Structure 1
């Protein structure tokens, strides 16, 4: 599918204008490097879903075993590997906070997999998110996601990535100028953008995604 990058950029700017906020017309278009395989997205979603349980008091050892049984270690970041080597009480408040932010990235990734159909930048993560990902308590694994195995088309994913990129600029610019805005949360936009950028950057590791604006 051929992408018209300039047209998509202009569409994002129109959407942002409808939200009543400003965009930066000088921002370049996003480089498109291809689409990550659905199997990789599913594996990453599974790992992150397990890590979220740690944020809500699950013992890291339990999650470590769950991920190991599914042979998903290669989809983990160094940060996550370090967390899984700790006792529950050794995980710091800042680490727990970082894991809680995973909910936003997961919300974006299940949208990419066409499981989540309600993905709006100004709306919070849905209460049904944990029903969309493998459940550790029920000992579900990544195969529950393979039954769906529907990745949205390239155009849809690129358009959302472009929109979040430009919204992220607005959030950062507002903070630098000391302008208070209530429509968008910078952390939410940033975490979702990282997930979307990762999907269209198949050769880049999760922690290496460039989130500059």
Structure 2
């Protein structure tokens, strides 16, 4: 469908979910104008985020994790902020909270490369142990996980991008209006928006 048709479709879906937008938000890009990240790039980002989550759990393992990522050839895929967090002597509570919330970004990224089949509406936080069970075992090679990654169609991903874009705007409106009726999780929405904008290159860098 065209960008305008997609916008209308998503707006109708939101009305069915009792989400009403008062601003006339624009359509997103046409599918033909979008170049997705390579699936292997997305898979490496998942591995980085996963091990950052592990590093936040156990300070003692952090150096070992960095050495493992370097040996696997994945370390260079880490952003500057992530490298700082991996090597920071002591993580603050704010650092740890930010890392844990990135689990929601991991889940969306896994969906984009067909590692999970469905992406539910952003209401319930991801089950982290269940998610980790779908990833390579701790400190084992991620080569097969990375090599087997294949992205969903541009259309599927832009559908999700459009939905996330409009839900984020609705969350903003609900916050500004002091509404208590918004049923979607703003934290999940933020992480999904961050991640999918990176996948679609609407955001050039991860940080």
TM-score (norm 1): 0.86
Which residue of structure 2 lines up, in the alignment, with residue 27 of structure 1?
25
Whether the aligned pair in 2 keeps the contact of 1:198 and 1:206 (CA below 8 Å) is: yes
Displacement of 1:51 after TM fit? 0.6
Q: 1:202 to 1:143 in 2, by over 3 A?
A: farther
The residue correspondences of 1:113-124 to structure 2 (distance < 5 A) are 113-121=113-121, 122-124=123-125
Q: Which runs of 5+ in 2 are unaligned?
A: none
The residue correspondences of 1:6-85 to structure 2 (distance < 5 A) are 6-24=4-22, 26-31=24-29, 32-58=33-59, 59-85=61-87
Q: Between Structure 1 and Structure 2, which shows a larger proportion of helix residues?
A: 2
RMSD: 1.9
Aligned equivalents of 2:110 and 2:189: distance in 1?
16
Aligned equivalents of 2:140 and 2:23: distance in 1?
45
CA-to-aligned-CA distance 1:98-130 (integer Å, 9 cap, x gap): 100110000100000111123112343145211
Aligned equivalents of 2:180 and 2:67: distance in 1?
44
Displacement of 1:189 after TM fit? 0.4
How many residue pairs align between the two structures?
201
Q: 1:173 to 1:202 in 2, by over 3 A?
A: closer
Which residue of structure 1 lines up, in the alignment, with residue 178 of structure 2?
178
Aligned equivalents of 2:19 and 2:155: distance in 1?
24
CA-to-aligned-CA distance 1:112-153 (integer Å, 9 cap, x gap): 0111123112343145211222332xx223213135322111
The residue correspondences of 1:133-144 to structure 2 (distance < 5 A) are 133-136=135-138, 139-144=139-144
Which residue of structure 1 lines up, in the alignment, with residue 191 of structure 2?
191
Displacement of 1:70 after TM fit? 1.5
